[in-house]
Structure 1
Amino acid sequence: MIIQWYVGFVGDFPERKARWFDVLTKKGFRHVLAIGYDPIHRVWIYYDPNIFSTNIQVFDPDDEELNSLIYFVKTSGAWLRVKPRIHACLFGRWRHYCVPAIKHLVGSPSSALTPYGFYRDLIREGAKPAFEV
């Protein structure tokens, strides 16, 4: 069971071409994903929803790919530590892209549509910075 999620706000991807919806997002906050540690099974769960698909992976704590991901997000955007809660969403998940999927995952009542708006709402809800040097 995940008792705490780490929500990653990703900046620009160096190998990706700009997309039309990038004009709707703030630099440093182009995408949002999450990782959570399961202490019972001693693994990290990686959850990365996007407009085209959803990527879910399980990593050992010392996995180099996981450490690279944490570092990439830390240097291109920001991490927040979020305690999940149960929140009944009035309208359900109306679109499948990163922001509503992660809001649903952590139980946030945020009405944000963009990663940066969601970041600000999580800070107001009590989320704390994570993986800082």
Structure 2
Amino acid sequence: MNCDLPAPAPAYFVMFTGVKRREHMIDWISPLAFQHCFAFFYDPSAERWMLYEVNRGGAGILALKGDEFDRWLTFMRWQGGRVLRIDTPPPRNRPPFQLGMWCVVAVRHMVGIRSRAIRPIGLWRDLLKAGASEVFVS
């Protein structure tokens, strides 16, 4: 079977978010601003921003037009979201299996970064070490 996949995005964006209160036990081991993360990128062929999120309720993919994305990003930044931009690394072989599937693992795999992070704050640090830079800073 021949399956031509589209080329990976030239850059990925990773948003880190938090809440004002801690609801679950795992929330107590992460800083409030780094309790969750998800990735997004721009797809020029579809003229859409593609958002990919894995959370306690499952996984979701959302496609937003430019103006919808602008409103969403403004709201998320107003809520305290912080965004890193990283160029897509060259493809590499990955381990044959992964342990678990939560936001950090999902973002690590989508972006293609080598990281052993298990919490969003660890992924933030690893992305910065890999050359990511904070964007959409007001």
TM bracket, shorter-chain basis? 0.7 to 0.9
C-alpha deviation, 1:80, in angstroms = 0.2
Structure of larger gyration radius: 2
Contact 1:8/1:80 (CA < 8 Å) preserved in 2? yes
- Confirm whether residue 98 of structure 1 aligns to residue 95 of structure 2: no
Q: Once superposed, what is the RMSD of the aligned Cα atoms?
A: 1.9
CA contact (8 A) 1:51 1:96 kept: no
> Matched residue pairs, number?
129
TM-score by length of 2: 0.83
TM-score of the superposed pair, with normalisation by structure 1: 0.86
Identity, in percent, stands at 28
After superposition, what is the alpha-carbon deviation per residue over 1:54-104, rounded to whole angstroms, capped at 9, x for unaligned? 0111111111xx334323443413100011222333353321100000000
Equivalent residue in structure 2 for 1:74, among 62, 74, 77 = 77
Structure 1 residue runs without a partner (length 5+): none
Give the aligned partner of residue 118 of structure 2. 113
- Please name the residue that 2:31 is paired with: 26
